Amino acid sequence: MAGENLLPRRAALIGAAGVTGTLLARGAAAAVPEIDTGRVQGGRVEFPAWTAPTERPSSGPPNPMPMNERVGFAVVGLGRLTLEEILPAFGEAKKSRLVALVSGTPDKAARIASQYGVRPEAVYDYAAFDRIRDNPDIRVVYVVLPNSMHKEYTIRAAQAGKHVLCEKPMAVSSAEGQAMVDACRTTQRKLMIAYRCQYEPYNREVLRMVREATFGPARFIDAVNVQNQGDGEQWRFKRALAGGGSLPDVGLYCLNAARFLTGEEPVEVIARSFSPPGDARYAEVEETVNFMLRFPGGLVANCATSYGMHESRLLRVHTPGAAISLDGAFAYHDKQLRIAHRDGRAESVDERRIPMQNQFALEMDHMADCVLTDRKPHTPGEEGVQDHRVMEAIYQSASSGQPVALPRVEGLDHTRGPAPSPS
Establish if 50 belongs to a structural domain: no
Taking each helix axis from N to C terminus, what angle separates 252-262 and 201-211, rounded to the nearest 10 degrees? 40
Establish if 296 belongs to a structural domain: yes
List, for residues 121-158, the tens digit of each pLDDT value.
999 999 999 999 999 999 999 999 999 999 999 999 99
The CATH number linked to 171 is: 3.40.50.720
Question: Which of 145, 163, 194 marks a domain boundary?
Answer: 194
- Count of domains for the chain: 2
Question: Which of 194, 221, 247 marks a domain boundary?
Answer: 194
pLDDT value of residue 28:
52
CB atoms within 10 A of CB 36: 9
Distance in angstroms (rounded) separating the CA atoms of residues 327 and 338? 8
Cis peptide before 169 (omega within 30 of 0): yes
Assess whether 189 and 201 both reside in one domain: no
Establish if 54 belongs to a structural domain: no
Assess whether 207 and 89 both reside in one domain: no
pLDDT by 10s per residue, the chain, length 423: 444 444 444 444 444 445 444 444 555 556 888 888 888 988 888 888 888 988 888 878 888 899 999 999 999 999 999 999 999 999 999 999 999 999 999 999 999 999 999 999 999 999 999 999 999 999 999 999 999 999 999 999 999 999 999 999 999 999 999 999 999 999 999 999 999 999 999 999 999 999 999 999 999 999 999 999 999 999 999 999 999 999 999 999 999 999 999 999 999 999 999 999 999 999 999 999 999 999 999 999 999 999 999 999 999 999 999 999 999 999 999 999 999 999 999 999 999 999 989 999 999 999 999 999 999 999 999 999 999 999 999 999 999 999 999 999 999 999 999 999 887
DSSP class of residue 222 equals E
Assess whether 306 and 350 both reside in one domain: yes
Range of the domain at 225: 197-355+379-405
pLDDT value of residue 24:
47
Assess whether 173 and 231 both reside in one domain: no
276: Cα within 13 Å, side-chain hemisphere: 8
Assess whether 325 and 301 both reside in one domain: yes
Assess whether 187 and 230 both reside in one domain: no
Establish if 18 belongs to a structural domain: no
Question: Which of 130, 160, 194 marks a domain boundary?
Answer: 194
124: Cα within 13 Å, side-chain hemisphere: 22
The CATH number linked to 308 is: 3.30.360.10
Assess whether 266 and 180 both reside in one domain: no
Residue ranges of E strands in 204-307: 220-228, 268-274, 288-294, 300-306
Assess whether 218 and 78 both reside in one domain: no
Assess whether 276 and 291 both reside in one domain: yes
Q: What's the whole-model pTM score?
A: 0.90
What amino acid positions are annotated as catalytic residues?
168, 253
